[in-house]
Structure 1
Amino acid sequence: MKITKLVVHCSDSPNNLDISAKDIHLWHLERGWSGIGYHKVIKRDGTIENGRPEYWVGAHVKGHNSHSLGVCLIGRDQFTDAQLDSLKKVVIDWHIKYPDAEVVGHCDLDSGKACPSFDVAKWVKANQ
């Protein structure tokens, strides 16, 4: 599988609710999926949790799952400094493995989505 996109998502849950990868796994099972659709989840305190293994095609952005990895920030539109620091770590780690992959927001691939509620391209430029 050739990874060409690293997709940033948000859980669209209340900003004060600290849910986990396990919670999302259960939600996605309830939707009839084969488990959590994201490869990484970043909790409110910056903890990075594993979701699907990277070799397993994700279920996080329709039409792009076969060539992307997905990371999900817990919250709706206010992310903590710890989360953004951890997001930078995840992106750096993935870029080492997939140097040609573009970092994008879910909304950049699906205009019907607001997720992750910030301009990912602008964030990437500020964090290079």
Structure 2
Amino acid sequence: MKITKLVVHCADTPNDRDVTAEDIHQWHIQRKWAGIGYHRVIRRNGVIEQGRPEYWEGAHVKGYNSTSLGVCLIGRDQFTDAQMQSLERVLRDWKVKYPNADICGHCDLDPHKTCPNFDVKGWWETVNQKELVSDES
């Protein structure tokens, strides 16, 4: 599988409700899918949970599943600092394995979606700017 996109999602659940990868797995099975569609889930406390193995094609972004990995932030539009730190960690790990993959939000690939309700590309640029500054000091 040639990975060209690393896609950030949100669960679109209430911001104050914690949900697990197992919960999402059950929801997706109820929809008659083959289980959880994401490869990683980041809970409200920042814990990173395994979804599908990376070698399994995801079910998270129509038209791109065969060439992407998906990570899902629990919540709708207010993510915790712990979640954002974990998101950075997941994406950095994936970038080591797939250095040419683009990082984007679900909404960047589907104009009918607002998920994950923030500018992933802009956030990633900011994260990388901070790292450059701290590397130089």
Scaled by the length of structure 2, the TM-score of the pair is 0.93
Q: Which residue of 2 aligns with 1:119?
A: 119
Please state if 1:25 is matched with 2:30. no
| SS of equivalent residue, structure 2 residue 70 | strand
| Cα displacement (A) at 1:76 | 0.2
C-alpha separation in 2, matches of 1:36 and 1:17: 19
Q: Which residue of 1 aligns with 2:83?
A: 83
CA RMSD of aligned residues (A): 0.3
| Cα displacement (A) at 1:87 | 0.2
C-alpha separation in 1, matches of 2:125 and 2:56: 29
| SS of equivalent residue, structure 1 residue 127 | helix
In structure 1, the gaps of 5 or more residues are none
C-alpha separation in 2, matches of 1:115 and 1:4: 19
| Cα displacement (A) at 1:38 | 0.1
| SS of equivalent residue, structure 1 residue 32 | coil
C-alpha separation in 2, matches of 1:126 and 1:42: 20
| Cα displacement (A) at 1:16 | 0.4
| SS of equivalent residue, structure 2 residue 44 | coil
Identity of aligned residues (%): 66
Structure with the higher helix share, 1 or 2: 2
| Cα displacement (A) at 1:62 | 0.2
| Cα displacement (A) at 1:71 | 0.1
Matched residue pairs, number? 128
Query: One-letter code of the match for 2:17?
Result: L
Q: How do residues 1-128 of structure 1 correspond to structure 2 at under 5 angstroms?
A: 1-128=1-128
C-alpha separation in 2, matches of 1:106 and 1:74: 14
Query: One-letter code of the match for 1:116?
Result: P
C-alpha separation in 1, matches of 2:121 and 2:93: 18
| Cα displacement (A) at 1:99 | 0.3
| Cα displacement (A) at 1:51 | 0.1
| Cα displacement (A) at 1:123 | 0.5
Query: One-letter code of the match for 2:74?
Result: I
Query: One-letter code of the match for 2:59?
Result: A
Q: Which runs of 4+ in 1 moved over 4 A?
A: none
Residues 40-78 of structure 1 deviation map (CA, whole Å, 9 limit, x = unaligned): 000000000000000000000000000000000000000
C-alpha separation in 2, matches of 1:27 and 1:113: 19
